């Protein structure tokens, strides 16, 4: 089974990733991994760091002649802020010696991991928490998960995402979203992300895109921040991935964990999700038909999952991202050292990271689908899986 780990700090030397369990014989290159890293760095409302970081993951092991060899794949991605000695980061993040005069950061931000992380690990300085909990870590997640995305694409499974809402501006209903996104999905989920990428807020509707940009401008002037809602779709998924027999084998449960375990995510829904609670049964459940020798659904309100298993319909997932807690217009906090109430300090940040977070969400669900696929059709090599999948 595919599993990945990341290591590294936001302003340390770089990020490291290890991906294990990838079958032998999968074609993968650094340029293919870079595709989604570039996408992650694009989007209206981004902060200053995105202007100079040019993320590129170098494959250090596990690949020979552009094909996986069955062993762990290791990746490394340098941090340019550290390499350029910007703001003295090699001194601030030195792994051996603490230089005199380094400022201890003792003002935790509301809504961030700062205070609880310092309490948990008994730090008198929140810098270690800031560095590891930072969304910078998602760059390596995208790199690692790009390998799982390539595996899925080999079997015709595609992933794409788009923004539904930023702040007050967005789609108003499920039907409105389906009229916009579903025609694109007929050509595969990648058609959705490629169309969304034409908008700098990754919204499929140009009028809404303009409204979202204006919303970001307003909050930027106020010194505030914005979150929003996005949708991820997966096409080409065969029926029967996941299982109903145990709680921890349910596909929707695993997908939900992948989304909510990503920085700043506060909610997830499958298909109609919470809107199901506003409707009666005939408006929620998907009627079953039998056409051209196979079972189908007339609608896809369940988002491609019933009883914890894929139905063969496109999987539809929505995630909710909270506003970023780092803001120019500060909130009140308490100094961990003096215990006095004061204002938070500003760390360089985006006003709205949602357009970039869509790429992260697309990525983190890839290993979930890949593992469910391997569980059903698995083998140690691509050739072996192809033989079993074609039976």
Residue-level pLDDT at 348: 66
The neighbour count for residue 92, using CB atoms within 10 Å, is: 16
DSSP state of 178: H
Mean pLDDT of the chain: 94
- pLDDT tens for 56-101 read 999 999 999 999 999 999 999 999 888 887 678 999 999 999 989 8
The CATH number of the domain holding residue 48 is 3.60.150.10
> How far is 389 from 373, CA to CA, in rounded Å?
9
Residue-level pLDDT at 48: 55
Contacts of residue 10, Cβ cutoff 8 Å, sequence gap at least 6:
79, 130, 131, 132, 134, 136, 137
Residue-level pLDDT at 50: 53
Domain coverage including residue 358? 3-389
Structure tokens at 298: 């007339």
Q: Give the containing element (helix H, strand E) for 161.
A: strand 158-166
Residue-level pLDDT at 350: 85
* Residue found under tokens 């409707």: 279
Query: How many domains is the chain built from?
Result: 1
> How far is 100 from 87, CA to CA, in rounded Å?
15
- pLDDT tens for 287-300 read 999 999 999 999 99
Residue-level pLDDT at 364: 98
Residue-level pLDDT at 64: 98
Burial string for 333-359 (b: 16+ CB within 10 Å, else e) reads beebeeeeeeebeeeebbbbbbbbbbb
End-to-end CA distance of the chain: 21
Q: Across the 391 residues of the chain, what is the mean pLDDT of every consecutive 10-residue run? A: 96 96 98 96 72 83 98 96 82 91 93 96 96 96 98 98 97 96 97 97 98 95 95 98 97 98 97 95 95 94 98 98 90 96 82 96 98 96 95 69
Structure tokens at 253: 């449960």
């Amino acid at each position: 089974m595919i599993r990945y780990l990341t290591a590294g700090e936001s302003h340390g030397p770089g990020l490291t990733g290890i991906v294990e369990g990838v079958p032998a014989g999968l074609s993968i290159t650094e340029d293919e991994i870079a595709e989604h890293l570039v996408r992650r760095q694009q989007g209206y409302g981004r902060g200053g760091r995105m202007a100079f970081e040019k993320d590129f993951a170098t494959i250090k092991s596990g690949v020979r002649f552009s094909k996986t060899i069955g062993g762990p794949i290791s990746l490394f991605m340098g941090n340019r802020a550290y390499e350029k000695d910007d703001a003295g980061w090699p001194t601030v993040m030195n792994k051996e010696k603490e230089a005199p005069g380094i400022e201890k950061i003792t003002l935790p931000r509301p809504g961030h991991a700062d205070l609880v992380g310092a309490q948990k690990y008994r730090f008198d300085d929140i810098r270690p928490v800031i560095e590891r909990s930072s969304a910078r870590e998602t760059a390596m997640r995208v790199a690692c998960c790009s390998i799982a995305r390539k595996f899925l694409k080999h079997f015709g499974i595609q992933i794409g995402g788009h923004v539904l809402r930023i702040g007050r501006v967005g789609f108003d209903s499920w039907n409105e979203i389906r009229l916009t996104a579903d025609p694109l999905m007929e050509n595969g989920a990648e058609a959705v992300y490629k169309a969304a990428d034409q908008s700098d807020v990754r919204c499929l509707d140009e009028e809404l895109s303009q409204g979202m940009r204006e919303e970001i401008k307003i909050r930027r002037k106020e010194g505030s921040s914005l979150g929003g809602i996005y949708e991820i779709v997966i096409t080409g998924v065969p029926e029967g991935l996941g299982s109903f027999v145990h709680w921890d084998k349910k596909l929707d449960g695993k997908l939900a964990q992948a989304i909510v375990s990503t920085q700043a995510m506060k909610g997830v829904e499958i298909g109609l999700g919470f809107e199901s609670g506003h409707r009666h049964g005939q408006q929620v459940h998907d009627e079953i038909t039998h056409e051209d020798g196979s079972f189908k659904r007339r609608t896809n309100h369940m988002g491609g999952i019933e009883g914890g298993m894929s139905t063969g319909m496109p999987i539809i997932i929505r995630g909710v991202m909270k506003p970023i807690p780092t803001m120019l217009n500060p909130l009140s906090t308490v100094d961990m050292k003096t215990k006095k109430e004061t204002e938070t300090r500003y760390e360089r940040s985006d006003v709205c990271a949602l357009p970039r977070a869509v790429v992260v969400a697309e990525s983190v669900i890839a290993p979930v689908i890949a593992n469910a696929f391997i569980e059903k059709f698995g083998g140690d090599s691509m050739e072996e899986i192809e033989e079993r999948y074609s039976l």
